[in-house]
Amino acid sequence: MLTTTARRTQAERRTSTRHSLLSAATAILVERGLTATTTTEVARVAGLSQGALFKHFASKAELLAAVAAHLHEELLGAYLDRFHRLNRTNDVGDRLDKALRLLWQLFQTDEMAAALELEMNARTDTHLRHSLLPIAERHASRIRAVAVDLFPDHASTPTFARMFDLVLETMHGMALSRCLAPNPAHERALLAHLQMLARAGLTETGAT
For position 120, which CATH number holds? 1.10.357.10
**Residue 20 belongs to a domain with what CATH number?**
1.10.10.60
How many structural domains are present in the chain?
Answer: 2
Q: Based on the fold, state whether residues 84 and 142 are members of the same structural domain.
A: yes
Residue 204: its pLDDT value, please? 62
Q: Which of 57, 90, 105 finishes a domain? A: 57
Residue 188: its pLDDT value, please? 96
Q: Based on the fold, state whether residues 89 and 181 are members of the same structural domain.
A: yes
Q: Based on the fold, state whether residues 97 and 161 are members of the same structural domain.
A: yes
The domain containing residue 120 runs over which residues? 59-203
**Domain-embedded: residue 191:** yes
Please say if the pLDDT value at position 53 is more than 80: yes
DSSP string, 98-135: HHHHHHHHHHTSHHHHHHHHHHHHTTT-HHHHHHHHHH
Work out the mean pLDDT of the chain and round it to a whole number: 89
Alpha carbons 88 and 99: distance in angstroms, whole number:
10
Q: Based on the fold, state whether residues 51 and 124 are members of the same structural domain.
A: no
Please say if the pLDDT value at position 193 is more than 90: yes
Alpha carbons 88 and 68: distance in angstroms, whole number:
30
Q: Based on the fold, state whether residues 68 and 53 are members of the same structural domain.
A: no
Alpha carbons 1 and 49: distance in angstroms, whole number:
28
Q: Based on the fold, state whether residues 129 and 144 are members of the same structural domain.
A: yes
Alpha carbons 200 and 121: distance in angstroms, whole number:
36
Please say if the pLDDT value at position 202 is more than 60: yes
Residues 29/117, Cβ–Cβ less than 8 Å:
yes
Percent of the chain with pLDDT over 90: 64
Residue 156: its pLDDT value, please? 83
Q: Based on the fold, state whether residues 73 and 9 are members of the same structural domain.
A: no
Q: What does DSSP assign to residue 80?
A: H
**Domain-embedded: residue 192:** yes
Alpha carbons 9 and 95: distance in angstroms, whole number:
46
Residue 87: its pLDDT value, please? 61
Q: Based on the fold, state whether residues 87 and 166 are members of the same structural domain.
A: yes
Q: Which of 35, 57, 79 finishes a domain? A: 57
Highest mean pLDDT among 79-88, 127-136, 197-206: 127-136
Average pLDDT for 9-21: 89
**Domain-embedded: residue 53:** yes
Alpha carbons 206 and 195: distance in angstroms, whole number:
20
Helix residue spans in the chain (DSSP H): 4-32, 39-46, 50-56, 60-84, 92-107, 110-121, 126-150, 160-180, 184-203
With CA atoms as reference, report the closest residue to 97 among 208, 200, 198, 207.
198
Residue 1: its pLDDT value, please? 46
Alpha carbons 62 and 152: distance in angstroms, whole number:
36
pLDDT digits (tens, 9 = 90+) for 112-123: 999 999 999 999
Q: Based on the fold, state whether residues 113 and 162 are members of the same structural domain.
A: yes
Average pLDDT for 89-98: 81
Q: Which of 57, 73, 97 finishes a domain? A: 57
Average pLDDT for 86-106: 84
How open is the CA angle 107-108-110, to the nearest 5 degrees?
105
Residue 208: its pLDDT value, please? 39
Q: Based on the fold, state whether residues 32 and 118 are members of the same structural domain.
A: no
**Domain-embedded: residue 161:** yes
**Domain-embedded: residue 208:** no
**Domain-embedded: residue 1:** yes
Cα distances (angstroms) measured from residue 171 to each of 13, 100, 104, 178:
40, 10, 7, 10
Q: Based on the fold, state whether residues 23 and 99 are members of the same structural domain.
A: no
**pTM of the model as a whole:** 0.85
Q: Based on the fold, state whether residues 71 and 173 are members of the same structural domain.
A: yes
**Domain-embedded: residue 16:** yes
